[in-house]
Amino acid sequence: MIGVLILLCLSLSLLFSLMVGSPGFPPGPTPLPLIGNLLQLNPKTPLKDLHKLAQRYGPVFSLYIGTIPAVVLTGQQALREALVSKAVGFTGRPNNIMMSHMTKGKGVILADVGLSWREHRRFALSTLRNFGLGKHSMEQRIVQELTHVCALLEKSADFYRLVLQHLRTIEEELKEVTQQAAVNTSMLQRLGGGGVADLGLVEDTNMPLSNAEDLDELERRLASDVVLKNQLVNILAILGGKTTKDAVKRMMGRAFRRSLALQMNWTGAAGKIAFKSLHLKSVLHTAFEPPTDHQRTDEQNSSGPPVGTAVGPPTLPLVGR
């Protein structure tokens, strides 16, 4: 047992002396038996460790990766001298079992210098020259292709930008349609309640009106607010009725309470309010326009809905036509 240990120590000492004592080998950190300088290199940041070793031992130093010696070159001057000035001496590649198994003695980059390497190098250079290696014409072709690709990308960008602009326009239109649909739905729901006292036809109008003050306020607004007129026309036009008299009665009931209606007449005689001079009269007239003789005949022949009955979404009539 002791003899085996002594023999192992002698073997390691001999190996260590062979590793360190190579003549003409660049200076470097002292390696350990079997593992060399692996403990001096961090696997995560090996470049930083090599830079520190270069600052200590110079631009050319040696390392042992396990039992394999290696020479490290750092700096532009050392690399130029090795790869340009002395390129013939540095054309070789390490000949180990892994590389030999991978390349099978063939190739250019990883293969060692030899007859096979020279043949492969000569074939690679002649083939690449046919594709423009070392010729300026290849650069012109590359620039032309890049210009063509850039133009296609710009056209595609303009197309997608135009599509996006149209989509945004459609989105805004859909928002407006959705808002209008919500308003119309709210109006229909409130009209479907059937009550008069709890019905607010348009916000801030206090309809149905119950006194002269509310009527004066509404008349003042109708004189300058066309949007309010159209809103009132649209709501009153939905009411409809089985007959003309029934439709007018419903509209009047939605607009006035009985107490205010008793204070009106058509001409304003006897100190009452003149209905014919009201802006609200124009609204009621536009909301319900009696059909012409031709339209009445068509309705009777087609057995259509009664006069004034709304079918589907109401047409938005224009006030004052």
CA distances from 99 to 103, 120, 124, 170, 289 (A): 6, 17, 20, 64, 99
Rounded to the nearest 10°, the torsion over CA 305, 309, 313, 318 is 120
- Average of per-residue pLDDT across 8-19: 62
Residue 95: CA count within 13 A, CB half-sphere: 8
**Phi/psi zone of residue 31: left (φ > 0), alpha (ψ -120 to 50 degrees), beta?**
beta
For the residues of 288-299, what is the DSSP string, one character each? --PPPHHHHHHH
Calculate what percentage of the chain has a pLDDT beyond 90: 5
Mean pLDDT score, 13-31? 70
Q: Are 103 and 117 in contact (CB under 8 A)?
A: no
pTM: 0.35
What is the C-alpha separation between 159 and 258, in angstroms, rounded? 64
Alpha carbons 309 and 244: distance in angstroms, whole number: 10
Q: Confidence band (pLDDT; 50, 70, 90) for 117?
A: confident
Q: Rounded distance, CA 37 to CA 32, Å?
A: 6
Segment among 82-96, 262-276, 278-292, 295-309 with least mean pLDDT: 295-309
Which pLDDT tens digit goes with each residue over 259-280?
888 888 888 888 888 888 888 8
Q: How far apart are CA 225 and CA 320, in angstroms?
A: 12
Structure tokens at 222: 């109708």
Question: Which residue in 294, 286, 273, 292 sits closest to 314, CA to CA?
Answer: 286
Question: pLDDT category, 185, cuts 50, 70, 90?
Answer: low
Strand partners, 273: 264
Average pLDDT over residues 280-300: 62
Q: Give backbone dihedrals phi and psi of 252, rounded to 5 degrees, phi first.
A: -65, -40
Q: Taking 80 as the threshold, does the pLDDT of residue 68 lie above it?
A: yes
- Residue 28 burial by CB count (10 A; 0-12/13-18/19+): exposed, middle or buried? buried
CA distances from 302 to 35, 295, 313 (A): 105, 11, 20
Q: Taking the CA atoms of the chain, what radius of gyration do you get in angstroms?
A: 50
- Sheet strands (E) in the chain: 60-65, 68-73, 264-265, 273-274
Hey, what are 111's tokens?
Answer: 């293969």
| Domains in the chain: boundaries | 2-90, 196-302
Q: Which residues of 137-149 are buried (b: 16+ CB within 10 A; e: fewer)?
A: eeeeeeeeeeeee
Distance CA 100, CA 253 (A): 104
| pLDDT tens figures, 44-60 | 888 899 999 999 999 99
pLDDT for the residue 55: 92
Q: Which residue type occupies 5?
A: L
Q: CA–CA separation, 53 vs 59, rounded Å?
A: 9
Segment 103-119 shows an average pLDDT of: 77
Q: Is the pLDDT of residue 293 over 60?
A: no
Q: Say if residue 239's pLDDT is above 80.
A: no
Q: What angle do CA 14, 16, 21 make, to 5 degrees?
A: 95
Measured at the CA of 169, the angle between CA 167 and CA 175, to 5 degrees, comes to: 100
pLDDT at residue 311 is higher than 50: no
Number of neighbouring beta carbons within 10 Å of residue 250 = 18
